[in-house]
Amino acid sequence: MTQSELKDFLDAKVIQYNNPKFIESDPIQVPHLFTLKEDIEISAFLTATIAWGNRKMIIRNAHKMMALLDNAPYDYIINHQQKDLELLNTFVHRTFNSIDFIYFIKALRHIYKNHNGLEAVFSTHTNVTSTQIAIHQLKKVFFELEHPQRTQKHISDPLKGSAAKRINMFLRWMVRKDNAGVDFGIWATWSPSQLSCPLDVHSGNVARKLGLLTRKQNDAKALAILDASLRKLDANDPVKYDFALFGLGVFEKF
């Protein structure tokens, strides 16, 4: 397949999957419940944090998280009392349990009260070609408070070799300008051209079959290779191809 044929093939798959029907079976449905910017950000961040494993379980548990936050995540983050946190003790998603959830609530309040919110933290390094340094910065700020050591594993660090799939997915949701109405595009401080593809088993395997990726591991080095390949196809909106790679892998078993 030539570069031009590959682009035409993937562009068609983007159109096939990047549409409102995608929302029905994807975790992005959870932040779509909200209209307030901060509610969208927080619900998206928490949903992306638990986005590994069975998709139906991810969606079910993300909805459960929102219910525990009174379906008003920003208000809960800012105004919760210690006694409110006790109600979160029932939550668990795989290795992310109530200990982690409670710390995430405290860290998010710290970020919104002392650092002007998630967008401001991520936007401290917008003068670079990718978001990887910004993700590293977020992790530093997120764990400024006293925290359980175990909780650190739930935020990846690209500077330590991680592809940071879940945070890159969150950033796609927040930054990408999407005429189809799936991604939100509510963060103007980043350009979609700077985004990285959320690299996981599905997108990685499809990318290798299509010759977009040669490295076997799904790590930060592989992500850099994949990003470079996707930017050759569309320099302005490279992560739109996440829809194509994911759809081919999950729905078509490509």
Q: CA 185 to CA 87: how far, in whole Å? A: 33
Tokens representing residue 243 in the block: 């829809």
64 token code pair: 């459960």
Check residue 125 and give its pLDDT: 75
pLDDT for the residue 254:
85
- Alpha carbon distance 54, 65 (integer Å): 16
Instruction: Determine the residue type at 61.
Output: N
DSSP-based helix, strand, coil % in the chain, nearest 5: 65, 0, 30
**pTM higher than 0.85, yes or no?**
yes
Which of 238, 205, 236, 237 is CA-nearest to residue 224?
238
- The Cα 8–Cα 115 span in angstroms is 43
Q: What is the pLDDT of residue 198?
A: 96
**Closest of 96, 101, 100 to residue 66, by C-alpha:** 101
How many Å from the N-terminal Cα to the C-terminal Cα in the chain? 15
User: What letter represents residue 173's amino acid?
Assistant: W
Report the residue count for the chain: 254
Shortest CA distance to 195 belongs to which of 247, 244, 237? 237
CA distance 93 to 97: 6
Question: What is the DSSP annotation of 83-110?
Answer: HHHGGGGG-EETTEEHHHHHHHHHHHHH
Q: What is the mean pLDDT of each run of 10 residues along the chain (254 residues)?
A: 94 96 96 98 98 95 98 98 94 97 98 97 79 92 97 96 97 96 96 95 96 96 97 97 96 88
Q: What pLDDT shows up at residue 131?
A: 86
